[in-house]
């Protein structure tokens, strides 16, 4: 039986006992970790939040890809068995490059969200909200189109939502007003399914449901990503089914700034957080 963090000898014999690496531009990716812990509590998770360089969602695809490769290199050096790109903006831009550079199973948030939206829609019209980087990439449209060419996707960048969530305005009239403004065109256009294509949006689920109305199915990309990772790890015989799980959080900027936020995203008490420096590639 492995200890809290399995020994090198044990993990060499049993790759499933190695930790999973999860990264995001900041702390928002803990929404994915929260769902992963709910679904597979035996996993040890090493989390990296690039808080020194957040946000990624306002940056170019080239910059986000470079940052994502540096994040991944840090986690790979910790001996992780798989990588989860919890950030929608990084998943949208960097997955092909990550796949070329690192030879371990690597999962993003976008494909699982696209699959869930494809299954949820009844009228074939899907809405996607995300950062500017995610929406500009067209990644959701591309993947939904590959799954079913009949489907129509309407996308909307919502750059004000990340700061509102970080401010803790989760149930707030200003947030509702901003959501109404962003969602009005796609709701008028008749979307019946809405993909929450950003790490931060699961925390706004109630407000989004209130504004979108009961007819619109919400796809939580944190939930769908965790379920997808579970399936894939099982398939690769890499899912830990015994031993004590847990999460070790690393950030690239000072720790004090993120402690409260980490609790909000993780939905539980603060865990050990460590500040680290990333090497340039």
Catalytic residue, from 69, 87, 158, 225: name it.
87
Binding residues among 185-244 for ligand DGL as defined by CB under 6 A = 198-200
Nearer to ligand DGL, 11 or 134 (CB): 134
Q: Sketch the per residue contact string, 156 through 195, with ligand DGL: x for CB under 6 A, - otherwise.
A: ------x---------------------------------
Nearer to ligand DGL, 87 or 164 (CB): 87
Nearer to ligand DGL, 6 or 183 (CB): 183
Specify burial of residue 136 (Cβ count, 10 A radius: 0-12, 13-18, 19+).
middle
> Is 108 a residue that touches ligand DGL (CB under 6 A)?
no
Output the smallest distance, CB 133 to ligand DGL, in A.
Answer: 7
Residue 69 bears catalytic tag: no
Could you write out the DSSP letters of every residue in 7-63?
Answer: -HHHHHH-GGGSPEEEEESSSTTHHHHHHHHHH-TT-EEEEEE-TTT---TTS-HHH
Output the smallest distance, CB 109 to ligand DGL, in A.
Answer: 7
Tokens of 188: 């008028």
Q: What is the DSSP letter of 162?
A: H
What is d(CA 278, CA 273) in angstroms, rounded to the nearest whole number?
16
* CA proximity to 28, closest of 168, 162, 199, 267: 199
Output the smallest distance, CB 89 to ligand DGL, in A.
Answer: 4
Output the smallest distance, CB 29 to ligand DGL, in A.
Answer: 6
Residue 198 bears catalytic tag: yes
**Edge-to-edge strand list for the sheet holding 152-157:** 152-157, 125-130, 193-197, 217-220
Distances (CA, A) of 53 to 17, 69, 88, 174: 31, 13, 15, 27
Rg (Cα) of the chain, in Å, rounded? Answer: 18
Helix, strand, coil share of the chain (percent; to 5): 50, 15, 35
Output the smallest distance, CB 197 to ligand DGL, in A.
Answer: 7
Q: Sketch the per residue contact string, 29 through 68, with ligand DGL: x for CB under 6 A, - otherwise.
A: -------------------------xxxx-----------
Size of the site for ligand DGL (CB under 6 A): 18
Residues making contact with ligand DGL (CB under 6 A): 24-26, 28, 54-57, 87-89, 130-131, 134, 162, 198-200
Active site (catalytic) residues = 87, 198
């Amino acid at each position: 039986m492995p200890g809290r963090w399995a020994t090198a000898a044990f993990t060499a014999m049993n790759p499933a006992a190695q930790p999973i690496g999860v990264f995001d531009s900041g702390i928002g990716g803990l929404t994915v970790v929260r769902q992963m812990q709910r679904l597979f509590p035996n996993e040890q998770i090493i989390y990296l939040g690039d808080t020194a360089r957040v946000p990624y969602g306002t940056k170019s695809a080239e910059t986000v890809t470079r940052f994502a490769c540096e994040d991944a290199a840090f986690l790979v050096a910790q001996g992780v068995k798989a990588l989860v790109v919890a950030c929608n903006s990084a998943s949208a831009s960097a997955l092909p490059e990550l796949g070329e550079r690192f030879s371990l199973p690597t999962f993003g948030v976008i494909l699982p969200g696209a699959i869930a939206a494809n299954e949820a829609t009844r009228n074939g019209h899907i809405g996607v909200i995300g950062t500017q980087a995610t929406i500009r990439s067209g990644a959701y449209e591309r993947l939904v189109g590959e799954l079913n060419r009949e489907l129509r996707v309407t996308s909307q960048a919502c750059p004000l939502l990340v700061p509102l969530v970080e401010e803790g305005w989760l149930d707030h009239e200003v947030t509702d007003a901003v959501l109404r403004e962003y969602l009005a065109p796609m709701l008028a256009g008749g979307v019946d399914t809405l993909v929450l294509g950003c790490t931060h949006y699961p925390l706004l689920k109630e407000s989004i449901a209130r504004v979108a109305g009961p007819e619109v199915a919400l796809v939580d990309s944190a939930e769908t990503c965790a379920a997808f990772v579970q399936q894939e790890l099982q398939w690769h015989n890499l899912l830990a089914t015994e031993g004590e799980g847990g999460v070790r959080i690393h950030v690239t900027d000072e720790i004090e700034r993120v402690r409260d936020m980490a609790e909000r995203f993780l939905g539980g008490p603060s865990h050990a957080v460590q500040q680290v420096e990333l090497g340039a590639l």
